[in-house]
Chains A and B, each alone.
Chain A
Amino acid sequence: MTTTVPAGAAAPAPPEPSPPAPPRRRPARGAGNGGLFVLPFLTLFGLFLVWPVVQGLWMSLTDASLTLRETRFVGFANYAEAFGDPDVWSSLGNTFFFTAISSVPLVLIALAMALLVHSGLAGQWVWRLAYFAPYLLPVTVVTLIWTWLYQPDLGFGNQLLGALGMEPVGWLSDESVAMWSVAALTVWWTVGFNFLLYLAALQSLPATYDEAAALDGAGAWRRLWSVTLPQLRRTTALVAMLQVLASLKVFDQIYILTKGGPNGSTRPILEYVYDVGFTGYRLGYASAVSYVFFAIVIVVSVAQLRLFRQED
């Protein structure tokens, strides 16, 4: 590794004879065929992803509405309005709060569940099924179940508290509690996905390190901290990244559960975009707000990527 060949300089003659012509052409022909295979995807991708993104950017510079009114170019007026709109800030705050209180348990609990299952508990398939099953339910079903659990009068939550001699809680009606209720539902519902990712990673770890550490006399905790968890770092980075992005996108369960109430305390930014654009007809303004959010998501993703890269 001491000699370097300057780029473009005549390379020393390779020891083998130069490859015959046909193999050189073959990859070229293969690439052409590949292009053809990718074409349907590229078309759909362009039509339904790239084009709407461009279209949305244009719309955010106009006062486009759902009605028949003529659309006018308004420059950055929508962005100016968005930055001065207290509802944008409060719903952004709600989104970040939700992301914080949901992502951490969603990663930690998933890890704990995967470790438990991987540790060789009896009846493996039961645990796997039980942990993953809620993830298979559609959002409407999940929300319906939890609406009843959170029901102020007859719900399981308050009945349980009552049986323990405690005061009922306004699960969905108390401004300081409602977002936690949403987070609890979300953890129950989606933790199975992260659990599977962790379990797959655990099962693919080479057993040799663990065995070596055991032979050296390391106890179970020591092996977990010093052997297993460090090996899971990449998975943790992936799970955390996916989870933060998923939590930032929260919408459906909140929309069905509380419609953003009480007093807007659970309204995420995407619901605000929906409210403004679809029930308020203001597509231009809604596009501007969603682009502001888009920019924030990109910043968060890049920051996260760098953070984990440094750890690596």
Chain B
Amino acid sequence: MGSASSFRGSPRPRAAAWAPGVSRRRLLRCGTAGAASVLAAGPLTGCASPARAGEPSSLSVWDLFQGGDGLLMDEMIAAVSRGPDGFDVERTILDWGPSYYTKLAMSAAGGRASDVAVLHLSRLAGYAPGGLLDPFDLDLLAEFGVTERDFAPAVWQRTRHRGTVYAIPLDVHPFIVFYDRGAADRAGLLDAGGELAPMGSPEAFLDAGRALAGATGHAGVLFGHVTDTAQSWRQFAALYAQTGAAFTLPDGGPPQIDTDAAVEVVTFMQRLFDGRTNPNNLDYNGAMAAFMDGRGGMVMLGEWELPTLRASGIDLGAAPFPQVFGRPAVYTDSHSFVLPHQDDPDPARRREAHRYVARIVKESLTWAGAGHIPAYRPVLDRPEYRALAPQSSYAAAGEAAVLDPPNWFAGAGSNFQNRMCQPLQSALLGNTSAEKAVRQMIREADSLLRRPNPVA
């Protein structure tokens, strides 16, 4: 919930400016949305005003980084707060997930949100069209040394809505594989450089799973998906994109999906997690625990688990998600900075917000410590980043990034991902066939598409 630091701001001079502009609609919105969020998250979330006049450098920032990520973000904020042109940042950390996105939407709908917030790039389509975000001024960013050329095209193209840029990516955080170097070596899966050799085909991956199972004496590839609302979808989306087929969600439906390719992918997932070589009934924590216990040679996870896995003392290797179909593709998302909508933004503050975003993305070498791939490419080229192991071994994942199909209901922590995971779980557990699972995924996507679009 809201951290104590959010109370450090100046008093709220905007309270007076409120009255003249109160329309019935705004009153309703602040009354209902605001009341709910005030009840849920303390007095400064819903309709709180950002610190303003008299303290032009105090920026309010919302993010969802807890644990190790949160500490690294503290470090980066401390770095940009030093010196004469340092920032005075009021940071509010909120719990990640659907609740974060609800609060962000409410604060922006109230029109007086924080100056800068973090948004998963996959959620942009649910925020930019509804007017919940304000666009970035690219000239202003260029003035502070950040331009389009500094980002991977696969990621940058998702920062735009109708040609306007609404988000500046901080990182790319792909779904990858971690492996036990010892087991992979015994299974003969490493190349001359000691890195995981490319797989190249579904059969090769199945063989690799069997070889790893032989090497560990337990399981080959671990994957925790039971009762998880994202994992199966991440895996499916990566493999499906590798077939070269597209999955799009046009408004009004029906979803565009290559059924044959989808069935092929789900069938492959069923073969891979057959319950013998690789267990098919693990949940997220179970898979983590099994890998850290040495009961599996490889585990499919987000790179953000790097600090946890490293703490276990395993000789840890990491690689982009193995390419087994036609072309390289890695399921990914990106923590990005956005400017939540403010009804009456102060130009000087907006300028500071741009300068802040530019400064922070340049600090993202620190951010790479948690395993994330910095989105700002000049950082990737620095020798310090290249020396980071195993982070640099999957940096290429950013170039083959595949995000959720853009639509208002899709993206990180969304109901869409949850609904896609349900049939996939049934298929992996052997309760349903690949064909039926794919049919249900299409049905679920279609029913979401048929709903009236609340952000259009």
A interface with B by C-beta (< 8 Å): 48, 52, 55, 59, 63, 65-71, 87, 147, 151-154, 168, 170, 172-175, 257-264, 275, 278-283, 285
Contacts and interface: CB of A to CB of B under 8 A. Distances in A.
A144 B66 CA distance: 19
Nearest to A265: B422
B283 A264 contact: no
A146 to B, nearest CB: 12
Contacts of A170: 226, 281, 429
B227 A69 contact: no
A279 B418 CA distance: 12
B28 to A, nearest CB: 8
Contacts of A275: 415
B281 A69 contact: no
B98 A278 contact: yes
Interface of B: 25, 28, 31-33, 35, 98-99, 101-102, 105-106, 108-109, 111, 126, 130-132, 226-227, 229, 279, 281-283, 285-286, 289-290, 341, 408-409, 414-415, 418, 421-423, 425-426, 429, 431, 440, 447, 451-452, 454-456
Nearest to B293: A154
A258 B102 contact: no
Given A262-B227, A262-B422, A262-B426, A69 B283 contact: no
Nearest to A258: B227
B32 A151 contact: no
Contacts of B451: 280, 282
A66 B286 contact: no
B455 A154 contact: no
Contacts of B99: 278
A173 B32 contact: no
Contacts of B131: 67-69
Given A172-B226, A281-B105, A261 B33 contact: no
Contacts of A87: 447
B93 to A, nearest CB: 18
The 9 closest A-B pairs by CB, nearest first: A67-B130, A65-B454, A68-B131, A281-B454, A152-B281, A153-B286, A278-B102, A279-B98, A263-B422
Contact of A67 (B109, B226, B289, B409): B109
Given A67-B455, A172-B227, A261-B229, A153 B102 contact: no
Nearest to B132: A67
A271 B131 CA distance: 27
A111 to B, nearest CB: 33
B35 A66 contact: no
Contact of B341 (A68, A147, A278): A68
B185 to A, nearest CB: 26
B454 A259 contact: no
A289 to B, nearest CB: 13
Contacts of B454: 63, 65-67, 69, 280-282
23 contacts: A52-B35, A59-B32, A65-B130, A66-B102, A66-B105, A67-B131, A68-B108, A68-B131, A71-B25, A151-B283, A153-B279, A153-B281, A153-B286, A170-B281, A173-B226, A173-B429, A257-B227, A261-B425, A263-B423, A279-B101, A281-B130, A281-B408, A281-B454
A153 to B, nearest CB: 4
A151 B224 CA distance: 11
